[in-house]
């Protein structure tokens, strides 16, 4: 391994603010989860409305452009509707859900919250295959059926959910998988299929499912020459957790990735020497809506 | 002072001629084009003499920048494969049909322009003051973010285009943001009309200025015929005729997407 210094990325502009709103608690235990979330993992706890409020006030002063909520499963946090309502007063919001915990009353609430805001409210539903066999092999038995039920409720309420799939198949199969995912969305009443594909991240559970990163899979100074750092999420984003502000949504379990208690304290350069940084470098900001959004034929 | 601000022409020479006549009838002092002369439509060289003859002050958009620098992609910022497929067809056509002289001229256009109206500092740009291809949609552009752009750009009024859908917002602080829309294709509202903005002093507004949107009707059927004769995608001609976007849909936030047909 080379001894050259690890490149640092400065926070150019805090455009995206993420909230680890459900901590590491999830009703599912997916075999590819990059932060090992599960029904028993309480390493990171829920964010309360008050904490979110404090960070939102800071974000307003910093001129943040959009807000994201993830977990774990965000809707396990009972304060989620109130948190979304508060957020959508000041900017667009996106929730990353597995869809299985959506119920009619909750979706009705979300519909009212979306309707009351001048800003877009996006819901990303994680589904990793177009059939129970393909999806549940990763997300657990019954996950497919639960997520499709969630999609149906969202479609009926007028949402245009973005199906988010982690690519666990070969590139050659992508066109046929995409077509099948579009059909799935249509059959669930989502007539304008929106799909986002994500690469796998070889950390957390995924490192056990396939393999971890190899020693040579690290971002080097040479790789940053002529590279637009604006492609990297760490140049324009931070992640709020119940243990402080981390550099990005992916590295929350990584030592050194927590940069401070407040957004202001977390406004400092970050050395992108962690293994998952390699995937981000190769694919760009994979977590944002704007990266790798795919839709089908109308 | 009163200025006409038009965005994305997308080679729609018929709409451009109508827009310039409309602006002249409104007795504007100046006409500014905020960039993206080519894309989508037919015969890209036809818009250049119209702009020059009318003395239009023209900025360089991402499409213009790509053509001038000979890049192999339009820098529109699409990520969806279907969107990119159509963007490639359109860019290849426009690249081949734009004369070397016109490409060179695009390269000499400024990326932004500043003027003063009624004592207010007005900044004209293509996408945003900080990035030529940044999308500023109404539903994903919060007030606080706009305030940051105003601070960094040291401006009271910012006018941009790039998204294809016009909107404006006056902030409580009195700053005014205007997305002037585009004249190259309809804005996904089910009518074939296009539009531009007139910016002028307005004593009643907190900002001291107001942006008024002008709708422009033109012979869209003739444009669609020309597009078909040039073998441009049938989906593009359909958009011109129906007013509904059929491509480039994946960049739309859900709020804007919901308003369209597809």
Question: What are the structural domains of chain A?
Answer: 8-295 (3.20.20.70)
Which site among A62, A295, A296 would you substitute to test the B interface, given the most B Cβ atoms closer than 10 Å to its Cβ? A295
Is B142–A160 a contact, with Cβ atoms under 8 angstroms apart? no
Q: Say how many C-beta atoms besides its own lie within 10 A of residue A60's C-beta.
A: 16
Task: Report how far residue B15's alpha carbon sits from residue B17's, in angstroms, rounded to the nearest whole number.
Answer: 6
pLDDT of residue B137: 97
Q: Which residues span the domain enclosing B129? A: 2-259
First to last CA, chain A: 49
Using an 8 Å CB-CB cutoff, list chain B residues near A160. Answer: 254, 257-258
Is A61–B149 a contact, with Cβ atoms under 8 angstroms apart? no
Q: How many domains does chain B have?
A: 1
Using an 8 Å CB-CB cutoff, list chain B residues near A296. Answer: 82
B83, B145, B255 member nearest A65 (Cβ): B145
Q: Nearest-5° angle of CA A203, CA A196, CA A222?
A: 55
Is A119–B250 a contact, with Cβ atoms under 8 angstroms apart? no
User: What's the pLDDT tens digit per position in B53-82?
Assistant: 999 999 999 999 999 999 999 988 787 778
Could you tell me what percentage of chain B is helix, strand and coil, using 3-state DSSP and rounding each to the nearest 5? 35, 20, 45
Task: Report how far residue B180's alpha carbon sits from residue B197's, in angstroms, rounded to the nearest whole number.
Answer: 5
Is A292–B145 a contact, with Cβ atoms under 8 angstroms apart? no
Q: In B, residues 154-213, which contact A (CB 8 Å cutoff)?
A: none
Task: Report how far residue A156's alpha carbon sits from residue B240's, in angstroms, rounded to the nearest whole number.
Answer: 30
Structure tokens at B65: 């920048």
Is A90–B257 a contact, with Cβ atoms under 8 angstroms apart? no
Is B79–A122 a contact, with Cβ atoms under 8 angstroms apart? no
Using an 8 Å CB-CB cutoff, list chain A residues near B254. Answer: 120-122, 159-160
In A, minimum Cα distance to B255 occurs at: A120
pLDDT tens digit at each of 298 positions of chain A: 456 789 999 999 999 999 999 999 999 999 989 888 999 999 999 999 999 999 999 999 999 999 999 999 999 999 999 999 999 999 999 999 999 999 999 999 999 999 999 999 999 999 999 999 999 999 999 999 999 999 999 999 999 999 999 999 999 999 999 999 999 999 999 999 999 999 999 988 888 888 999 988 999 999 999 999 999 999 999 999 999 999 999 999 998 999 999 999 999 999 999 989 999 999 887 899 875 344 433 3
In A, minimum Cα distance to B257 occurs at: A160
Is A120–B140 a contact, with Cβ atoms under 8 angstroms apart? yes
Using an 8 Å CB-CB cutoff, list chain A residues near B82. Answer: 294-297
Query: A94, A66 in Cβ contact below 8 A?
Result: yes
The whole-model pTM stands at: 0.95
Report DSSP state, residue B113. E
Taking the Cβ of residue A155 and every Cβ of chain B, the question of whether any pair is shorter than 8 Å is answered with no
pLDDT of residue A292: 39
User: What's the pLDDT tens digit per position in B114-164?
Assistant: 999 999 999 999 999 999 999 999 999 999 999 999 999 999 999 999 999
Taking the Cβ of residue B82 and every Cβ of chain A, the question of whether any pair is shorter than 8 Å is answered with yes
Is A90–B144 a contact, with Cβ atoms under 8 angstroms apart? yes
Q: Give A60→chain B minimum CA distance, Å.
A: 5
User: What's the pLDDT tens digit per position in B187-234?
Assistant: 999 999 999 999 999 999 988 999 999 999 999 999 999 999 999 999
Number of residues written out for chain B? 262
ipTM for the assembly: 0.94
Task: Report how far residue A20's alpha carbon sits from residue A251's, in angstroms, rounded to the nearest whole number.
Answer: 12
Using an 8 Å CB-CB cutoff, list chain A residues near B148. Answer: 13, 62-63
Task: Report how far residue A20's alpha carbon sits from residue A47's, in angstroms, rounded to the nearest whole number.
Answer: 7
Taking the Cβ of residue A271 and every Cβ of chain B, the question of whether any pair is shorter than 8 Å is answered with no
Task: Report how far residue B232's alpha carbon sits from residue B93's, in angstroms, rounded to the nearest whole number.
Answer: 8
Q: Give B80→chain A minimum CA distance, Å.
A: 4
Q: What percent of chain B has pLDDT over 90?
A: 93
Q: Give A4→chain B minimum CA distance, Å.
A: 32
Q: In B, residues 202-261, which contact A (CB 8 Å cutoff)?
A: 246, 249-251, 253-258
B11: domain CATH number? 3.60.21.10
* DSSP states of chain A: ---PPPPEE------EEEEETTTTB-S---TT-TT--BSS--SS-PPPHHHHHHHHHHHHHHT--EEEEESS-GGGSTTHHHHHHHHHTTS-EEEEE-STT--HHHHHHHHHHHHT-SS-EEEEEE---SSHHHHHHHH-TTHHHHHHHHHHHHHHTT---EEEEE--S-GGGHHHHHHHHHHHHHHTT-SS-EEEEE---SSTHHHHHS----TT-S--HHHHTT--GGGSGGGTEEEEETTEEES-SS-TTSTT-EEESSTTTT-S-EE--STTHHHHHHHS-TTSTTSSEEE---
């Amino acid at each position: 391994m080379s001894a050259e210094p690890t490149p640092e990325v400065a926070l150019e502009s805090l455009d995206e603010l993420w909230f680890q709103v459900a901590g590491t608690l999830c009703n599912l235990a997916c075999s590819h989860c990059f932060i090992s979330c599960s029904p028993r993992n309480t390493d990171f706890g829920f964010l309360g409305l008050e904490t979110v409020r404090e960070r939102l006030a800071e974000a307003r002063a910093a001129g943040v452009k959009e807000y994201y909520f993830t977990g774990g499963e965000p809707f396990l946090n009972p304060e989620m509707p109130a948190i979304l309502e508060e957020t959508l007063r000041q900017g667009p919001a996106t929730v990353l859900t597995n869809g299985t915990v959506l119920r009619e009353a909750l979706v009705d609430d979300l519909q009212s919250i979306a309707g009351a805001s001048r800003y877009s409210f996006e819901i990303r539903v994680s589904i990793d295959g177009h059939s129970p066999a393909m999806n549940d092999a990763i997300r657990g038995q019954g996950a497919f059926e639960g997520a499709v039920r969630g999609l149906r409720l969202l479609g009926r309420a007028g949402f245009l959910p973005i199906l988010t799939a982690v690519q666990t198949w070969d590139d050659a199969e992508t066109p046929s998988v995409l077509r099948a995912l579009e059909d799935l969305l249509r059959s669930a009443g989502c007539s304008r299929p929106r799909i986002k594909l994500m690469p796998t991240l070889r950390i957390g559970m995924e490192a056990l499912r396939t393999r971890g990163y190899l020693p040579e899979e690290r971002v080097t100074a040479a790789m940053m020459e002529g590279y637009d750092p604006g492609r990297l999420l760490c140049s324009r984003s931070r992640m709020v957790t119940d243990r402080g502000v981390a550099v990005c949504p992916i590295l929350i379990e990584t030592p050194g990735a927590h940069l401070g208690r407040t957004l202001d304290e977390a406004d400092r350069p970050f050395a992108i020497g962690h293994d998952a940084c390699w995937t981000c470098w190769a694919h760009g900001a994979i977590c944002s809506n704007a990266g790798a959004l795919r839709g089908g034929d109308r | 002072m009163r200025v006409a601000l038009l965005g994305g022409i997308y080679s729609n020479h018929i709409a451009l001629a109508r827009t310039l006549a409309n602006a002249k009838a409104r007795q504007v002092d100046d006409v500014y084009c905020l960039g993206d002369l080519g894309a989508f439509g037919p015969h890209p060289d036809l818009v250049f003499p119209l702009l020059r003859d009318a003395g239009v002050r023209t900025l360089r958009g991402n499409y213009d920048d790509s053509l001038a620098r000979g890049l192999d992609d339009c820098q529109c910022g699409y990520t969806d494969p279907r969107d990119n497929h159509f963007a490639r067809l359109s860019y290849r056509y426009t690249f081949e049909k734009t004369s070397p002289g016109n490409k060179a001229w695009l390269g000499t256009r400024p990326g932004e322009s500043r003027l003063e109206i009624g004592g207010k500092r007005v900044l004209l740009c293509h996408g945003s003051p900080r990035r030529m291809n940044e999308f500023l949609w109404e539903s994903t552009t919060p007030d606080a973010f706009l305030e940051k752009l105003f601070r960094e750009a040291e401006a009271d009024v910012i006018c941009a285009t790039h998204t294809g859908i016009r909107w404006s917002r006056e902030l409580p602080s009195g700053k005014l943001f205007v997305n002037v829309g585009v004249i190259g294709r309809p804005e996904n509202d089910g009518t074939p009309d296009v539009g531009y903005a007139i910016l002028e002093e307005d004593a009643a507004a907190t900002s001291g200025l107001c942006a008024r949107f002008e709708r422009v009707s033109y012979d869209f059927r003739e444009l669609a015929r020309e597009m078909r004769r040039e073998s441009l995608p049938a989906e593009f001609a359909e958009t011109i005729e129906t007013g509904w976007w059929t491509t480039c849909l994946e960049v739309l936030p859900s709020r804007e997407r919901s308003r369209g047909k597809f």
